[in-house]
Structure 1
Amino acid sequence: MAEKTFWTEKASMKDFYVTPTHWIFTLCTFGLYFIIVYLIRLNTRYSLTNERLLIESGILSKHIDEIELFRIKDTKLSQGLFQRFVGLGDISIISTDDTGDLTLNCLPNAKEKREQLRTLSNDARTQKGVRTLVHE
């Protein structure tokens, strides 16, 4: 089966505009904080396919990391107060991959994206015959 892309997304700047601490840091650094955050978010891209989650990042040099979906153990969604105002969220991913745990920051429609990621990772585990052991 061919690899199918479900979504590709960049981190949003919407939360920056309504969060007072971002403005305080920006004023204290004469705008440098805003430029750094903007460049980092502009140059970070997340892509979800039916086989893997890809993370491309880097301003001057590029880094590409991926997690096979069958290796994802758990996902978590967190939304700060100001992120909730503008419809953003952070998705934390716990995996068995050598990459370790990752966080996808400031994604629009994060709740739906997390649910889709969870569904696809469960499907990938079923398709590959991967079973997880629960230690209590």
Structure 2
Amino acid sequence: MAETILLTTHETKRSYGLWRGALALLLLGLPFLGRQRITITDERLIIEAGFLTKRRDDIEVFRIRDVVSTQSLWQRLLGIGDIVVKAVEGRGPEEVQLLKGVPDPVGVSEAIRRAWNQSRPRGPATAVD
């Protein structure tokens, strides 16, 4: 069965802050070079980032344990925010993924929560080893 795409964000604006953002904009538009794209499917969260060097990180939705979104005053004015995704990999330590400058961070975190709710097992609780 193929994955269903629930949400794809467009390339995001980075949240650099007022002075660092203005300086970077003057230096050849650098805030727009390190963009990231977030795709949420019914099975995983895909994060693609980079300009010259591309990086792709896949997080299985059922491994996500917590999603936190934050917005500073400056980010609220721009319509962006940061999202922290906490996930576990087996019995290993918790993995934390920071998504910076995400448009509509509350909507994106709600889409991740809905995907997690659809993927969680139903019925009696069982131990996962």
TM over 0.5: yes
Counterpart residue number, 2:4: 4
The equivalent position to 1:101 in structure 2, one of 76, 93, 96, is 96
User: Are the structure 2 counterparts of residues 94 and 23 from structure 1 closer, same or farther at C-alpha, using a change threshold of 3 Å?
Assistant: closer
Structure 2, unpaired ranges of 5+: none
- 1:55 matched to 2:47? The reply is yes
Residue identity over aligned pairs, in percent, reads 32
Offset at residue 37 of structure 1 (A): 2.2
Structure 1, unpaired ranges of 5+: none
Counterpart residue number, 2:70: 78
Q: Which amino acid aligns with 2:30?
A: I
1:2-41 aligned within 5 A: 2-9=2-9, 10-12=11-13, 19-23=17-21, 25-26=23-24, 31-32=26-27, 35-41=29-35
Distance in 2, Cα, partners of 1:124 & 1:71:
10
Q: For each residue in 1:2-58, what CA deviation from the matched residue of structure 2 results, as whole angstroms up to 9, or x when unmatched? A: 201122222125x66xx532355448xxx33x63321002xx211111100001122
Higher helix share: 1
The CA RMSD over aligned residues, in Å, is: 2.8
Q: Which amino acid aligns with 1:106?
A: G
Distance in 2, Cα, partners of 1:24 & 1:2:
43
SS of equivalent to 2:121: helix
User: Are the structure 2 counterparts of residues 46 and 130 from structure 1 closer, same or farther at C-alpha, using a change threshold of 3 Å?
Assistant: farther
Q: Which amino acid aligns with 1:20?
A: L
Distance in 1, Cα, partners of 2:73 & 2:87:
27
Offset at residue 132 of structure 1 (A): 8.5
